[in-house]
Chain A
Amino acid sequence: MAIFQKKASDFATPYTVSNAVSKGNLITKLSMLIMGLGCFAHKQIIKGLIYLAIEVGYIWFMIKGGIGNLQHLISLGGKPQEEIWNEAKGIYEYVNGDMTILFLLYGVATIFLTVAFIIAWRANLKCAYKNECDAREGRAINSFRKDLKALLDTNLHYSLMTAPILGIIIFTILPLVFMICMAFTTYSKVNDNLTLFNWAGLKNFVTVLGLGNSIGKTFWSVLGWTIIWAIFATFSNYILGMILAIVINRKTTRFKGFWRFCFMLSAAIPQFVSLLLMRTMLKDNGLINVLLQNAGLINSPLPFLTNATWARVVVIVINVWIGVPFTMLQVTGILQNIPTELYEAARVDGANAVTIFFKITLPYMLFVTTPYLITTFTGNINNFNVIYLLTGGAPTPVGSTAGKTDLLVTWLYKLTIDLQYYNVGAVVGILTFIILAIVSLVTYRNTGSYKNEEGFQ
């Protein structure tokens, strides 16, 4: 059916804003000033009223507070809280000063509303021009009822996508923009800049990326550990999980279901439960140390989570315990799809199990599971739970903001939530994003599953 084979170029219509401005008649051009005029002129009363209401509402909002919000966004305010002597009551009264963070939030929100208004304005122009053309060429102009019906048919995507997109804009994009703005301000507990702060340009980026101060030094060491962690955590899980799946899948292995059940059990219980459990077991007076001491194998408790090197190894090992069952579940199905001829041919040629794994299984799996591997890698860079619940970033050197096992994300959490260095935290978040974007966009866009997205449809 033709509608499924449309390409991007097929979405081109003659009813664009530039055409409306250059070729439209007087009414269409007047619609630039009075929204909905093009609809009123062709008896689309309700639609016209909606456009008009949007315009009136926006102008009212801008006069009421919007323009002020935009001005505040530039100046960020500067009036501190004051004590004023109240003669009548005989007490000091507090007069609220400016809250810069609210100025920033309202300013950003106003910009979002303005963008929404511009979109509505463009839709209004397009609609006016379309009506004009339709009337000139003698085509029927859609009534409001027909427009509503189209929302369930040709325009179904408007009705289905509006709510989810609004959700994403309000709960993902708006906060992100807001947070990115913070990276360019002095919003931080340092120098007591929590209620009043100012734009700071790129100063925070210099602080984080430079080696001249403690934040900068911490950043590079945390970044180094984050990358080491992501590589080890991803590939240890991937390879061990695959080996486990292969071993269980062997023809002569018995009780396959039982073994799978045992491993699946640890994947099924909530991660924070198993991580908290592991933390209590590995403490200095936790179960493992106590049992080893009782058995007389060690004299003093092993520093599982208190020595930097031990802790780093331990989080990777625990991550194997957490992650291998997941990989096993993911990989089992794909393994069963590897053509058996390949294995038979290899066996005829006298290859042993190890050669078969490295020459057939691994290349095939890498080929099929590259996207999965990339998501796991980015997921590990952002792996908050394992680090935060297991070590909390500890051991932390005295005076440092990050511990030896802190990843960029847990450090970001500490910087924003615990220390309230919001601006530096935002910079760290942006840098994390840049690293992830480079890693995944480059690799992901080169995989077949992205390029041939419609290949198999």
Chain B
Amino acid sequence: MAKEKKTKSMRTQKIISDTVVHVLLAVLAFIWVLPIAWIILLSFSTQKGSYVTSFFPKGYTLDNYHRLFTDTTILNFPQMFANTLIIAIFTCLISTFFVLSVSYCMSRLRFKMRKKYMNIAMILGLFPGFMSMVAVYYILKAVGLSEGSMIRVALILVYSGGSGAGFYIAKGFFDTVPKALDEAAYLDGCTKFQVFTKVTIPLSKPIIVYTVLTSFLAPWLDFIFAKVICRANAQYYTVAIGLWKMLEKEYIDKWYTCFAAGAVCISIPIAILFVFMQKYYTEGLSGAVKG
């Protein structure tokens, strides 16, 4: 009898704690989703200025999106989008090549400078990233990459140039590819380069996808490098600077809702890529050949 009572009280306790947990989660999820919901609502809002009086807009319209992609007189959003896309594609190609080659060398090849290189890369990572920004700007200026359409090239170089130092995750993945496969290939007469391209790369899909996505996303997410290098050259702005500009004092009254529309347009594809990236990241962490 007493035992029954005890299990019963334990069950009620469990139900109580379960409800508490679910209510708590619901409240937290609400807090986390609320700003996102609001910006989506705002992007469809008919209001004009930047002063909002209520959570839900007074009327709904698609004008903000329409204006964002057609009004190119002051802030040319389609142009910014194209800039960022071009920069992102080239950055992605160069960075992926750099990261994968360095990671493979660090993981599989043994040479004199290896340990030194790893230490140097770690030390370089400790400097504030844009501390050298001014210096980079002068270097780009000295070689004539700071004006006109060369700004795009400059941004590509800035985003991909130093990427060879960020090899830790991919190296960790290559470490999990069994060495026995390499050895079998060597016995069959493969050179090291063939092992890299024909054995390691085909087995490394998760980490390649992860590297491609991170380097593709970098130019979309970066704000500071683009701002320093573009300076006042509005036609080479990337999306991040454009959205930031829309909230500056001189533009905010006319562009507030367009900012929301632009933010939604940029966030949806990036969010989708991010979810993919997470999937491949976790797959990458769990190793190459299973079982």
Interface presence of A254 (CB below 8 A): yes
* Contact indicator A384/B224 (Cβ below 8 Å): yes
Residues of B within 8 A of A382 (CB): 128-129
The residue among A279, A280, A422 with the most chain B CB atoms within 10 A of its own CB is A280
The residue among B104, B110, B127, B244 with the most chain A CB atoms within 10 A of its own CB is B127
Interface presence of A41 (CB below 8 A): no
**Which listed residue, A250, A273, A388, A432, touches B128 by the CB 8 Å rule?**
A432
Roughly how many angstroms separate A170 CA and B117 CA in the complex, as a whole number?
16
* Contact indicator A176/B191 (Cβ below 8 Å): no
* Contact indicator A384/B130 (Cβ below 8 Å): yes
* Contact indicator B247/A280 (Cβ below 8 Å): yes
Residues of B within 8 A of A74 (CB): none
**Which listed residue, A175, A294, A456, touches B139 by the CB 8 Å rule?**
A175
Q: Determine the residue in chain A with the shortest Cβ distance to B51.
A: A285
Residues of A within 8 A of B263 (CB): 269, 273, 276-277
* A180 CB to nearest chain B CB (Å): 9
Interface presence of B35 (CB below 8 A): yes
* B141 CB to nearest chain A CB (Å): 9
**Which listed residue, B55, B124, B134, B196, touches A422 by the CB 8 Å rule?**
B134
* B287 CB to nearest chain A CB (Å): 11
**Which listed residue, B97, B124, B134, B270, touches A173 by the CB 8 Å rule?**
B124
* Contact indicator B32/A164 (Cβ below 8 Å): no
**Which listed residue, B36, B139, B196, B282, touches A170 by the CB 8 Å rule?**
B139
* Contact indicator A272/B191 (Cβ below 8 Å): no
* Contact indicator A433/B127 (Cβ below 8 Å): yes
* Contact indicator A252/B35 (Cβ below 8 Å): no
Residues of B within 8 A of A378 (CB): 126
B213-228 interface code vs A (CB 8 A; 1 in, 0 out): 0000000110110001
Interface presence of B2 (CB below 8 A): no
* Contact indicator A269/B267 (Cβ below 8 Å): yes
Interface presence of B82 (CB below 8 A): no
Roughly how many angstroms separate A78 CA and B32 CA in the complex, as a whole number?
58
Q: Which of B22-30, B60-68, B73-81, B203-211 is found at the contact surface with chain A?
A: B22-30
Chain A, range 129-177, C-beta contacts under 8 Å to B: 149, 152-154, 156-157, 159-161, 163-165, 167-168, 170-176
Given A247-B25, A457-B175; A156-B196 close (CB under 8 Å): yes
Q: Which of A1-9, A20-28, A59-67, A342-350 is found at the contact surface with chain B?
A: A1-9
Interface presence of A105 (CB below 8 A): yes
Interface presence of A264 (CB below 8 A): yes
* Contact indicator B132/A172 (Cβ below 8 Å): yes
Roughly how many angstroms separate A456 CA and B111 CA in the complex, as a whole number?
20
Roughly how many angstroms separate A429 CA and B131 CA in the complex, as a whole number?
6
**Which listed residue, A8, A164, A182, A266, touches B101 by the CB 8 Å rule?**
A164
Interface presence of A101 (CB below 8 A): yes
Chain A, range 26-42, C-beta contacts under 8 Å to B: none
How many interface contacts (CB-CB < 8 Å) are there between A and B? 250
Interface presence of A321 (CB below 8 A): yes
Interface presence of B142 (CB below 8 A): yes
Residues of B within 8 A of A286 (CB): 52
* Contact indicator B98/A164 (Cβ below 8 Å): yes
* Contact indicator A8/B115 (Cβ below 8 Å): yes
Roughly how many angstroms separate A281 CA and B34 CA in the complex, as a whole number?
11
Roughly how many angstroms separate A274 CA and B32 CA in the complex, as a whole number?
11
**Which listed residue, B33, B109, B165, B186, touches A265 by the CB 8 Å rule?**
B33
Residues of B within 8 A of A157 (CB): 105, 109, 111, 114
* Contact indicator A247/B21 (Cβ below 8 Å): yes
Residues of B within 8 A of A163 (CB): 97-98, 101, 164
B126-169 interface code vs A (CB 8 A; 1 in, 0 out): 11111111111011001000000000000001101111110000
Q: How many residues of A contact B (CB 8 A)?
A: 95
Interface presence of A416 (CB below 8 A): yes
* B39 CB to nearest chain A CB (Å): 5
* Contact indicator A268/B285 (Cβ below 8 Å): no
Interface presence of B254 (CB below 8 A): no
Interface presence of B123 (CB below 8 A): yes
* B100 CB to nearest chain A CB (Å): 9
Interface presence of A45 (CB below 8 A): no
Residues of A within 8 A of B115 (CB): 8
Roughly how many angstroms separate A412 CA and B124 CA in the complex, as a whole number?
18
* Contact indicator A167/B134 (Cβ below 8 Å): no
**Which listed residue, A265, A266, A287, touches B52 by the CB 8 Å rule?**
A287
Q: Determine the residue in chain B with the shortest Cβ distance to A334.
A: B285
* Contact indicator B98/A167 (Cβ below 8 Å): yes
* A115 CB to nearest chain B CB (Å): 14
Interface presence of A52 (CB below 8 A): no
The residue among B126, B135, B164, B221 with the most chain A CB atoms within 10 A of its own CB is B135
Residues of A within 8 A of B138 (CB): 101-102, 105, 178
Roughly how many angstroms separate A253 CA and B109 CA in the complex, as a whole number?
47
Given A176-B135, A262-B33; A429-B165 close (CB under 8 Å): no
Interface presence of A208 (CB below 8 A): no
20 residue pairs A–B, Cβ–Cβ below 8 Å: A4-B179, A8-B115, A105-B138, A105-B139, A157-B105, A164-B101, A165-B164, A168-B121, A171-B162, A174-B139, A252-B14, A252-B18, A262-B33, A266-B32, A269-B36, A274-B36, A291-B54, A384-B130, A388-B224, A457-B179
- Give the top 3 A-B pairs by smallest Cβ distance, nearest first: A164-B164, A171-B161, A175-B132
